[in-house]
Amino acid sequence: MSAMDYSGPERRRGGPDRRSADEQTKILVVDDHALFRVGIANILGREPDFDIVGEADDSRSAIDRALETSPNIILMDLSLPAPGGIETTHRIKRELPSTGIIVLAQNEDEDALFDAIKAGAAAFILKDVGPDDLVTIIRRVSSGEYLINDKVFSKPAVASRVLKEFRELAVYGQEAAPIFAPLSPREVEILDNIAQGMTNKQVAYALSISEQTVKNHMSSILRKLSVNDRTQAVVYAMRQGWIRMPED
């Protein structure tokens, strides 16, 4: 089996689901173990706001099914057969940037975590996660949170690698893809300048972009970080280690 629809009986317990399709979180389950896929689908299918739109057991079927269903959330097995869960995540995020991908791993591997960040994953969790915790994580990622950030910056070795690559991208002006979720290199560069006390106009001059472009980036930053103003954004970014402390 490469891909399949899921509409098991568990979804119908407790009466019909009267939520509209727009209110439900569409989920695709990707894992090469059939028993694991069915178990996850049964657990998540009990939630009235979840809609299991399909399953896949390899990279090709995962990509095809994702493009067919445009899920809000994909549960991605890290140890998927070649080309693997990380590469599959990267390919799907290129086509469906708004889809939140939760990578499931067997253990806390720092190299895999780093690669998951680069691929655009929103969360990195272990396969022994409890059902209630998994449901909570899915809802948080579906609402736009990037839970992977907290995990990354609790690991100094991974954080230093992320920041090193990130700053290299900023130096060379490469903005094609975020180096880690959720901010792009340009957005962190702008936030870094603002942290040094620059106004939007000064940032625009320093980076040779328009003031409106700076404002657009700031709006994106506030939305991604779920904060209300520039100060909160700067404090959050400094606490995470994304930008340097203001210079005296």
Please give the Cα distance from 220 to 66 (Å, whole number).
26
Mean pLDDT of 27-44: 94
Per residue, what are the HEC states of the chain? CCEECCCCHHHHCCCCCCCCHHHCEEEEEECCCHHHHHHHHHHHHCCCCEEEEEEECCHHHHHHHHHHHCCCEEEEECCCCCCHHHHHHHHHHHHCCCCEEEEEECCCCHHHHHHHHHHCCCEEEECCCCHHHHHHHHHHHHCCCCCHHHHHCCCHHHHHHHHHHHHHHHHHCCCCCCCCCCCCHHHHHHHHHHHCCCCHHHHHHHHCCCHHHHHHHHHHHHHHHCCCCHHHHHHHHHHHCCCCCCCC
57 pLDDT more than 50: yes
- Write down all domains in the chain, each with its CATH number in brackets: 3-145 (3.40.50.2300), 156-240 (1.10.10.10)
198 pLDDT more than 70: yes
**pLDDT range class, residue 40, cuts 50, 70, 90:** very high
The answer to pTM > 0.75 is no
The predicted structure's pLDDT at residue 13: 33
**pLDDT range class, residue 75, cuts 50, 70, 90:** very high
Question: pLDDT tens digit string along 134-174?
Answer: 999 999 999 888 787 667 656 767 767 766 665 555 444 44
Alpha carbon distance, N-terminus to C-terminus of the chain: 62
